[in-house]
Structure 1
Amino acid sequence: MKITINKQNFILHPCGAAFWEEKKILLISDLHLGKVSHFRKHGMAIPEKAIPENFNRLNNILELFDIETIIFLGDLFHSKMNNEWDLFSDWTKTITQQLILIEGNHDVISKKHYTDLNIEIHSEIIIDGFLLTHHPSTRENFFNLCGHIHPGIKLKGLGKQFLGLSCFFRKPNQLIFPAFGAFTGNFYLIPEEKDKVYVIAKDEVIEIKN
Structure 2
Amino acid sequence: MVPVSFAFPFCGDEFVLTKSRALFWPRENALLVADLHLEKASFFARHGQLLPPYDSRETLERLATALRETGARRVYTLGDNFHDSDGSRRLEPYAEGMLAALTRATDWVWITGNHDPAMEAKSGGTIAEELEVAGMVLRHMAKKGETRPELSGHFHPRVQVKIHHRHIRRPCAVVSHNGDESCGRMILPAFGALTGGMNAADPAILKALQPASAIDAVVPAGKRLARFPLWRG
TM-score by length of 2: 0.77
For the residue of structure 2 that corresponds to 1:56, the secondary structure is helix
Counterpart in the other structure of 1:199: 219
> Residues 148, 9 of structure 1: CA spacing in aligned structure 2 closer, same or farther, 3 A cutoff?
same
Instruction: Specify which structure has the higher proportion of helix.
Output: 2
Q: What aligned pairs does 1:35-114 form with structure 2 within 5 A after superposition?
A: 35-44=40-49, 46-79=51-84, 80-81=86-87, 83-84=90-91, 86-95=93-102, 96-110=105-119, 113-114=120-121
2: CA distance, partners of 1:100 / 1:154: 32
Q: Hey, which bits of structure 1, 4+ residues long, moved more than 6 A?
A: none
Match for residue 153 of structure 1 among 159, 162, 168: 159
Instruction: Provide the rounded CA distance (Å) in 1 between the counterparts of 2:123 and 2:9.
Output: 33
1:19 partnered with 2:38: no
Compared with structure 1, are the counterparts of its residues 204 and 188 closer, same or farther at alpha carbon in structure 2 (3 Å cutoff)? farther
Displacement of 1:83: 3.1
> Which of 195, 201, 210 is residue 184 of structure 1 equivalent to?
195
Residues 151 and 188, structure 2, Cα contact 8 Å, conserved in 1: yes
Task: Structure 2 unaligned segments of length 5 or more: list them.
Answer: 1-5, 178-183, 207-212
TM-score scaled by length of structure 1: 0.85
Aligned twin of 2:181: none
SS in 1 for 2:98: helix
Contact kept in structure 1, 2:38 and 2:55, CA below 8 Å: no
Give the Cα–Cα distance (whole angstroms) in 2 for the partners of residues 93 and 78 of structure 1: 18
- Tell whether 2:150 aligns with 1:144: yes
Out of 131, 138, 149, the residue aligned to residue 137 of structure 2 is 131
1:185, distance to aligned residue in structure 2 (A): 0.6
Question: In the aligned structure 2, how far is the partner of 1:5 from the partner of 1:200?
Answer: 16
Q: 1:31 to 1:51 in 2, by over 3 A?
A: closer
Q: Secondary structure at the match of 1:93?
A: helix
8 Å CA contact 2:17, 2:220 repeated in 1: no
1:88 to partner: Cα distance: 4.7
Q: Is there any run of 5+ residues in structure 1 with no aligned partner, and where?
A: none
- In 1, Cα distance between the equivalents of 2:14 and 2:96? 31
RMSD: 2.4
1:27-74 Cα deviation digits (max 9, x unpaired): 000000000222344444533444421121011111112212100000
Q: Secondary structure at the match of 2:82?
A: coil
When the two structures are aligned, how many residues end up with a matched partner?
A: 204
